[in-house]
Amino acid sequence: MPAESLSHGEKPRVRFAPSPTGFLHVGSARTFIFNWLFARHNHGTMVLRLDDTDVERNTDASVQSIFEGLRWLGLDWDEEYKQSERLDLHRKAAEAIFAKGLAYRDFTPAHAGDDNQSGSQGAWLFNPGMRELSREESDRRAAAGEPFALRYRVPRGTDRTLRFKDGVYGEQSKLADEVEDFALLRSDGMPTYHLASCVDDADLRISHIIRGQDHLTNTFKHLLIFEGLGAPAPQFAHLPLLVAPDGTKLSKRKHGPVVSVTTYRDAGFLPQAFTNFLCLLGWSPKNDREFLPVDEIKDLFTLENVNRANAVVNFTEEDPFDAKAVWLNAEHLRALPIDELSARLTPFLVEAGFQAAPEKIAAVTPLIRERIRLLREAASAADFFFLEKLPEYDPKELVPQKGDAALARRVLQHAEQVLATTTFDHASLEATMREAAATLGLKAGPMFQPIRVAVCGRKNAPPLFETMAVLGREVCLERIQEAVSKLDTLA
Ligand code: GLU
């Protein structure tokens, strides 16, 4: 939906309206982000509204999890509301719609599907017995305390077509005759999602409703409610569904933790990388770039660039994260200033049980930055910096490819000697070790491999001299001596 669809000078007001019935779903996070991008791109207002009228399904834990997830994403909002604090408004609106003759009381014992958000067609379109009840009888039964649901009196037999232009999916239409008489109030007096949502959207002067495609068919009901309220309908834009590799809608029940935002946080995604990834699920910039900071996405973002096709989140049982998400995370990690990355890595190192001074983490960070894709991987990439004792390794690793244990021993013993006196900084270590190689008549490879394995416990490790400088003389010498004794075990 182009910003031009706003009247001149008017700033958009959008809302993110999660129902606190579970953790923050990746699809909800994407809806939040797209609303945020639209609001910020157009200098509008971002409203956060908790759709918490479904008292049976709401939980405090879910409210916490939603806020925790949103705070982690690090994107802000300007106004905050709770539907449960606005029930009077919803009920008054329902009364006003009823007073206009646009709704009727349904005294049938509670219907399943009263609060049907899914838009699925009920088994009935309207309840003739109740729709045609005279006002006198309806009033009499209500006064006698008989419980009732309040239903919208959808126009029947009029050939009326309900229409709207969706900002993503284009022209939409449906015959009013095909829309059931949906509930506005449930028999316990609570507003349904449809009523509460539209009343609040009208009252909060929401100009653009940007939400999941699963709400597209609900929009026809919402158009009727706005009409009943005498309020102009906002513009609508529905976002393509997020689906699993097999094409099924991403769901917590079916796909488990991969659907929860906190799973990404706990695995060590950076919020900016995760946001970048979510933006590419259904939206793409015209220039096909993928690695984008959120500020840049905000500048580029338009709803016209949102695709209609379902967006696939790729994962397998062994590999729970989409390869693109992981790649983007590695890119964002590398783009972070070292001190910020150090701060991000710290909780993961602490969780892995490493006690490390901030200065040490700061020194290690540039050495592992190119070697990790997720923050969590720092624990295994950097363990030898923090562990007092190296994990067991195969002494054969100490032996250079074209050499034997005797050569490895010679290298290590010579290194032990020269390292006892050299200064432990990058430049001195490099000069000393190159000189040592020359003394022994060795190339860099056979010289450095035994030392690398001795101090890191593996061949695949960060640059050697920087690593040794961080580890310090004492640790390096101790580990080299230990390596020498390990060589003894090789027959
Ligand atoms: N509470 C609804 C949901 O979580 C909001 C839908 C809407 O944006 O209207 O799906």
Regions of the chain where pLDDT drops below 70: 1-9, 110-128, 491
- Helix or strand holding residue 46 (H, E): strand 45-50
Q: Catalytic: which of 100, 252, 389, 459? A: 252
Over residues 297-319, the pLDDT tens digits come to 999 999 999 999 999 999 998 89
Q: Which of 14, 66, 480 is closest to 206 using CA atoms?
A: 14
Mutate to test the pocket of ligand 1, among 117, 194, 206 (most ligand atoms within 8 A of CB): 117
Instruction: Tell me the C-alpha distance between 337 and 348, whole Å.
Output: 18
Domain-wise residue ranges, the chain: 3-242, 243-337, 338-387, 388-491
Q: Quick check: helix, strand or coil at residue 489? A: coil
Sequence-separated (6 or more) residues with CB below 8 Å from residue 117: 193, 194, 215, 218
- Cβ of 19 closer than 6 Å to ligand 1, yes or no, is yes
Burial class (CB in 10 A: 0-12, 13-18, 19+), 173: exposed
Top CATH class of 3-242 equals alpha beta
Tokens standing for residue 132 = 């045609």
Provide the 8-state DSSP code for 283: B
Beta strands in 76-160 (DSSP E): 79-82, 103-106, 149-152
Tokens standing for residue 148 = 């009732």
Report pLDDT for 104: 96
Report pLDDT for 7: 60
Cβ atoms of 291 and 276 within 8 Å: the answer is yes
In this structure, how many other beta carbons lie within 10 angstroms of the beta carbon of residue 76?
Answer: 12
- Cβ of 192 closer than 6 Å to ligand 1, yes or no, is no
Q: Which of 204, 183, 231 is closest to 83 using CA atoms?
A: 204
β-strand partners of 447: none
Whether 243-337 and 388-491 share one fold: the answer is: no
Cβ atoms of 436 and 418 within 8 Å: the answer is yes
Q: Which of 408, 401, 419 is closest to 475 using CA atoms?
A: 419
Q: What is the Cβ-side half-sphere exposure of residue 253, based on CA atoms within 13 angstroms?
A: 3
Over residues 34-91, the pLDDT tens digits come to 999 999 999 999 999 999 998 889 999 999 999 999 999 999 999 999 999 999 999 9
Tokens standing for residue 18 = 């999660």
Instruction: Tell me the C-alpha distance between 372 and 410, whole Å.
Output: 33
Tokens standing for residue 478 = 């101790």
- Which value, to the nearest 10 degrees, does the dihedral of the CA atoms of residues 475, 481, 484, 485 take? -110
Instruction: Tell me the C-alpha distance between 460 and 381, whole Å.
Output: 9
- Cβ of 414 closer than 6 Å to ligand 1, yes or no, is no
Give one DSSP letter per residue of 231-266, joined into a string.
----EEEEEPPEE-TTSPBP-HHHHGGGGBHHHHHH
Q: Quick check: helix, strand or coil at residue 151? A: strand
- Cβ of 429 closer than 6 Å to ligand 1, yes or no, is no
- Cβ of 29 closer than 6 Å to ligand 1, yes or no, is no
Report pLDDT for 124: 47
Beta strands in 113-224 (DSSP E): 149-152, 161-166, 170-175, 183-185, 208-212
Q: Where are the alpha helices (DSSP H) in 354-472?
A: 358-368, 378-381, 383-386, 405-419, 426-440, 444-456, 464-471
Confirm whether 286 is a catalytic residue.
no
Report pLDDT for 279: 97
Q: How far is the CA of 211 from the centre of ligand 1 (A)?
A: 7
Fold for the domain defined by 388-491: Arc Repressor Mutant, subunit A (1.10.10)
Tokens standing for residue 342 = 């150090």
Q: How far is the CA of 153 from the centre of ligand 1 (A)?
A: 23
Mutate to test the pocket of ligand 1, among 21, 23, 51 (most ligand atoms within 8 A of CB): 51
Looking at the whole model, is its pTM more than 0.85? yes
Beta strands in 111-199 (DSSP E): 149-152, 161-166, 170-175, 183-185
Burial class (CB in 10 A: 0-12, 13-18, 19+), 477: middle
- Cβ of 15 closer than 6 Å to ligand 1, yes or no, is no
Q: How far is the CA of 212 from the centre of ligand 1 (A)?
A: 8
Q: How far is the CA of 430 from the centre of ligand 1 (A)?
A: 61
In this structure, how many other beta carbons lie within 10 angstroms of the beta carbon of residue 226?
Answer: 17
Q: Quick check: helix, strand or coil at residue 311? A: strand
- Cβ of 215 closer than 6 Å to ligand 1, yes or no, is yes
Report pLDDT for 121: 41
Q: How far is the CA of 44 from the centre of ligand 1 (A)?
A: 20
Q: Does domain 243-337 have CATH number 3.10.450.630?
A: no
Cβ atoms of 273 and 331 within 8 Å: the answer is yes
Tokens standing for residue 449 = 């491999």
CA distances 334 to 327, 330, 341, 348, 366, Å, are 11, 6, 9, 17, 9
Cβ atoms of 179 and 152 within 8 Å: the answer is no
Mutate to test the pocket of ligand 1, among 33, 209, 215 (most ligand atoms within 8 A of CB): 215
Lateral strand order in the sheet of 45-50: 79-82, 45-50, 13-16, 208-212, 235-239, 161-166, 170-175
Instruction: Tell me the C-alpha distance between 283 and 62, whole Å.
Output: 28
Residue 409, phi then psi, degrees to nearest 5:
-60, -45
